[in-house]
Structure formats: structure tokens, C-alpha cells
């Protein structure tokens, strides 16, 4: 019997996309992974090479593919939020326009994040007006330019035109395995801890007082994958926006020491000021190359593993950030993931893949 569910994962090489592709395949979806530079890391994923900013490239790549379920998990980082809006809305618009004539799409899922409530990267550190936490889906959009809003609006417009249903997914910091990802806190901290271990340095908290002491949560890429598949196949989830996190909460002042224990390094907490990781890591390129040689590691380009700028933005926020999961729970999504295990599972995987010693 022919498989009726045909998934197109946009951004299949990223943390979210690669974990989602694996989940879809395990649930018997015929799964295509669209990216500019496909890789073979997910078994049974059918790679599609295309440039989302080039309509002709998309038309050629998707000529013989008629997906029933589209999962949008990618974005492009630009210098300003206005550029982010222009480019990232085009990514969504172009793809849905090319698929429109096929009339095959039943569901489109879009992954955004908590900047929906916090504002763009620059805003929440400078605006001074902090949102109410826990963050809830019904909170109104901020009066600030935000590419997430522009992407949502493209999905809504295409849904009106083509009649598909949609879901919006807003994870907190995504923890999971992928290489070459622009926003990868788990791997960034693993690399930082490995360098501390090698050099005898202390594992110094890079973030704010509020983040150190406040309540936080994160999103395991595996639970996000389950959430995406659930929402795209559940009657109760259609045409809704959802927060998605692991389902537990923690304080960094507890978790930081647990992570340090795993690597056998000395943890240092918040002491009077933010000490950015980007500054801490910028002189480590040579050390990392030596470690790659010494331990036979597989990635000598530190920038492909570590994204200190993003970890600094996350951990430097001047407020505690946690999310309300009520919408998902009421609609029937009850999966749970321990956050400490999210990190430790990732660290074990990075060791297995010889990406850290």
C-alpha cells in the first residue's frame, strides 16, 4: 500500500530538522529533507538540494515531490531585523508558492521560538520593558519588528489561499545534536567545558544574575520533533500556536554544577558581572586544533560546533524566562523530558561521534 504521509522537512540539517526527520521516518512518513547542503546523517531521509531564495531552484528540486506535510525549521541570520524580516518571510513565501499548484499540502508546521514574546535578539537586552513570565501563547505580539511575525503571516496567508491547516511551535533554547548549527547551546557548553578540562581552567558562568538565580526551561530537540508530528496529525492541534519545552523547570545555579561534574571541571557561578562566553572562547582556536589532533576528533573548525554569541544572548537575558505549556497539555500532548538528561544524552552523543574528547 502506498504511504499516504509525505513529509518535507525544510532545514533538515539543523538541530530541529534532523531530529524531526528521524522522528517522521520512525512514524512511517516518506520523508524528504530540503537544505542548501544536504548531508547523509539521517538514515532513510531523501535529500533535496534547493535554495529557498531562488524560485526556479525550488521548482526544479520539487518537480516530482508532492508533500502532504511541510515542516519549516530553518531561518537565515542577517545583520538587522528588517533584513531578517525581508529574507525569512521570503523563505516561507517562496516554498509555499511553489507547492501551491500541487494542491497536496494538508498541514504546514512552522518552528519559531520565544523571541515571539521577548522581541528580536537585540530588543530584550535593550528595551527595558520585560514581558510577563511564564510566557503564554495568548500574549499579544510586541510593537517591534520581528521576523517570526512575518513568517507566521506568510503561513496564514498561504493557508487562506490553499486551504491547508497549520501549527506554530515556539520552543525555548533547543538542546540536541547537530553540527554546523547557528544556535547550539548544548554543544557550545560541551566544547567550552572540554577546553576548561584540557587547560585546567574554571567553567565560568557567562550569563546574568537573573538567569543564574531565576527559573528556566529548555526544549530537547527530540521532544520538539514529537510535538511537531503530534500537532500535524492531531485534530485538537489544528490552527493553533504552541509553546513547547521539556515540561520541567530548573535554575542554572543548580544545573551549571551538574554539567561541570559531568566533565570533571570546577564550576564558578555568577560573580558581580556578566562574563561573555564569546570573549572567553575567542582565543581558543589554537587550543582546539591541538585537542583535535591529540584526541583524534572529527571537527577542527570551532565555529561549526560552538555558537558562543547565541549562548551569551540566551544566558545574558535580564529576566528569568520560563514557558507555560497549558495549550499543549489541554490539546493532548503529554510527553515529558528531563532537562539534565537532555544535556547528558547530548554530551554522550558528542563523545561517541568524536566531536569532544
List, by residue number, the catalytic residues.
Answer: 115, 148
| 3 close to 24: Cβ distance less than 8 angstroms | no
Collect contacts of 253-261 with beta carbons under 8 A, ≥24 apart.
253/212, 253/213, 255/339, 255/340, 255/343, 256/203, 256/205, 256/212, 258/340, 258/343, 259/189, 259/193, 259/203, 259/343, 260/193, 260/203
DSSP state of 51: -
DSSP state of 217: -
Strand partners, 216: 250
DSSP state of 164: -
Peptide bond into 134 cis (omega under 30): yes
CA dist 110 and 105 (Å) reads 14
CA dist 335 and 115 (Å) reads 23
Listing DSSP states for 230-284 in one string gives HHHH-GGGTTEEEEE--S--EEHHHHHHHHHHHHT--EE--BSB---HHHHHTT-
| 216 close to 321: Cβ distance less than 8 angstroms | yes
Burial class (CB in 10 A: 0-12, 13-18, 19+), 7: buried
| 138 close to 327: Cβ distance less than 8 angstroms | no
Burial class (CB in 10 A: 0-12, 13-18, 19+), 41: middle
Contacts of residue 80, defined as CB under 8 A and 6 or more positions apart, other chains included, come to none
Amino acid at each position: 500500500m502506498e504511504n499516504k504521509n509525505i513529509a518535507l522537512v525544510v532545514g533538515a540539517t539543523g538541530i530541529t530538522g534532523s531530529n524531526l526527520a528521524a522522528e517522521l521516518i520512525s512514524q512511517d512518513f516518506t520523508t524528504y529533507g530540503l537544505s542548501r547542503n544536504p548531508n547523509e546523517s539521517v538514515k532513510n531521509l531523501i535529500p533535496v538540494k534547493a535554495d529557498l531564495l531562488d524560485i526556479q531552484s525550488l521548482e526544479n528540486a520539487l518537480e516530482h515531490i508532492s508533500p502532504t506535510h511541510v515542516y519549516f525549521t530553518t531561518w537565515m541570520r542577517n545583520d538587522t531585523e528588517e533584513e531578517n524580516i525581508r529574507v525569512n518571510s521570503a523563505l516561507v513565501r517562496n516554498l509555499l508558492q511553489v507547492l501551491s499548484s500541487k494542491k497536496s499540502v494538508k498541514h504546514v508546521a512552522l518552528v519559531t521560538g520565544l523571541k515571539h514574546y521577548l522581541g528580536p535578539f537585540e530588543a530584550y537586552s535593550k528595551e527595558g520593558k520585560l514581558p510577563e513570565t511564564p510566557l503564554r501563547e495568548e500574549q499579544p505580539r510586541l510593537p517591534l519588528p520581528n521576523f517570526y511575525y512575518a513568517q507566521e503571516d506568510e503561513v496564514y496567508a498561504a493557508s487562506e489561499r490553499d486551504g491547508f491547516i497549520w501549527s506554530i511551535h515556539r520552543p525555548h533554547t533547543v538542546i540536541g545534536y547537530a553540527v554546523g548549527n547557528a544556535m547550539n547551546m548544548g554543544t557550545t557548553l560541551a566544547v567550552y567545558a572540554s577546553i576548561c578540562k584540557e587547560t585546567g581552567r574554571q567553567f565560568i558562568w557567562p550569563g546574568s544574575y537573573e538567569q543564574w538565580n531565576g527559573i528556566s526551561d529548555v526544549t530537547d530537540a527530540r521532544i520538539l520533533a514529537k510535538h511537531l508530528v503530534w500537532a500535524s496529525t492531531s485534530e485538537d492541534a489544528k490552527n493553533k500556536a504552541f509553546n513547547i519545552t521539556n515540561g520541567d523547570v530548573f535554575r542554572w545555579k543548580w544545573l551549571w554544577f551538574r554539567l561541570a561534574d559531568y566533565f570533571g571541571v570546577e564550576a564558578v557561578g555568577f560573580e558581580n558581572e556578566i562574563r561573555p562566553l564569546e570573549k572567553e572562547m575567542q582565543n581558543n582556536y589554537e587550543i582546539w586544533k591541538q585537542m583535535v589532533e591529540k584526541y583524534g576528533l572529527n571537527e577542527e573548525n570551532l565555529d561549526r560546533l560552538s555558537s558562543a554569541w547565541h549562548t551569551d544572548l540566551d544566558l545574558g537575558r535580564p529576566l528569568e524566562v520560563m514557558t507555560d505549556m497549558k495549550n499543549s497539555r489541554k490539546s493532548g500532548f503529554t510527553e515529558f523530558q528531563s532537562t539534565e538528561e537532555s544535556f547528558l544524552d547530548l554530551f554522550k552523543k558528542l563523545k561517541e561521534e568524536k566531536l569532544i574528547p
